[in-house]
Amino acid sequence: MHVCDFVTDDRVVWVISLRARTRKPTARTRRRRRSYRTGEVSMLRFLLLLTLAVSPLFGPARAAVAADAVRHRVLANDKGRIAIVSAEGKVEWEVPTRGTAHDIALLPNGNLLFPIGARTIVEMTPDKKEVWRYESKPKEGYTGGVEVHAFQRLSDGRTMIAESGNRRIIEVDRDGKIVREVPLTVNKPDAHRDTRLARKLDNGNYLVCHEGDGTVREYDGAGKVVWSYALDLNGQPRTPGHDGHGTEVFGAIRLTNGNTMIAGGNNNRILEVTPAGKVVWSIERDELPGIRLFWVTTLQMLPNGNLIVGNTHAGPDNPQLFEVTRDKKVVWTFKNWDTFGNDVAAAQVLDVKGRVIR
């Protein structure tokens, strides 16, 4: 008996080679050798087929899983910079900025729209040339502070801007002229907390998150509130701090089914709410294995139905972003503490095919 190794696909299959040892081959021995050789070939064929059958369980499968795994490039702001990070975690593009951004966007033309201060937003080309800028100022009759926490480039080329302090939505053209103004209802005025994320909807209305009021409101073009949802404490006591609990809502998007997906901010949860105000889907603070929700910020609904979620102020034990299915399976997490820190409130996953709602 002789043992040799047969190598295929970087794995070793041990093949037993049977060799009869006799003195002078007789007719009976020759028949036996032919039988041995036939059996040897059959065994080799069997082992080769077995190798092919089980190969998906070993090395090549690992490569296949890695190739098919969910991966995203990420645009985000933190640590004094706006940066695009590859799926491998390498910084592809970055510019310095001041303060913390609460909104950010990669535009269809390849340019980026982002804030460079509390009330100034710029559009910048990939080669870092500034091509547009708008600075919000106190409106007539108002002498307090103004902050911008949300903006959106519209399909007609205008830019929608939510102005805290001024308590209004404006649309400005490329020349910086205000072409539309929509007053907002704010029960607890505060230039820092009047608004968080805001979006113009397909129906022409505006969906606005009011952090200080703990309420999401939909406005028509005249500023009339046509829908609202107020967050509650979910049976828990209010606690202070970035790791605390409250009703300071951060983000909301309108889904194609007419429901509204809400990023609860320090409400520490995600809610899907019907037009009638009924919660039909949610992710609670400690519902996902290995993830604890703190200040829930970014929301992106992907074409496959999965949801991108920003988990701000959550610390290094938690991902800064993650992707979750509708059956609450986490399929992707983003942890890049070299480039970003604990305050990734504005982020966008890139290179997603199809319409993304954000």
Name the DSSP letter for residue 163: E
**pLDDT < 50 stretches in the chain:** 1-23, 36, 41, 48, 50-68
The two three-digit tokens of residue 152, written as one number? 């959106």
pTM of the model: 0.82
What pLDDT sits at residue 24? Answer: 54
What pLDDT sits at residue 16? Answer: 35
What pLDDT sits at residue 258? Answer: 99
Distance CA 240, CA 143 (A): 29
What pLDDT sits at residue 243? Answer: 92
What pLDDT sits at residue 5? Answer: 35
The two three-digit tokens of residue 309, written as one number? 């979620």
Q: What are phi and psi of 12, to 5 degrees?
A: -105, 125
Q: What are phi and psi of 233, to 5 degrees?
A: -80, 0
H or E element at residue 29: helix 27-54
The residues, ordered by sequence, that sit 6+ positions from 319 with a Cβ below 8 Å of its Cβ are: 291, 311, 333, 334, 335
Q: What is the pLDDT of residues 167-177, one digit of tens each?
A: 999 999 999 99
What pLDDT sits at residue 38? Answer: 52
Distance CA 14, CA 5 (A): 5
3-class SS at 63?
helix
CB-based burial label for 232 (10 Å; 0-12, 13-18, 19+): exposed
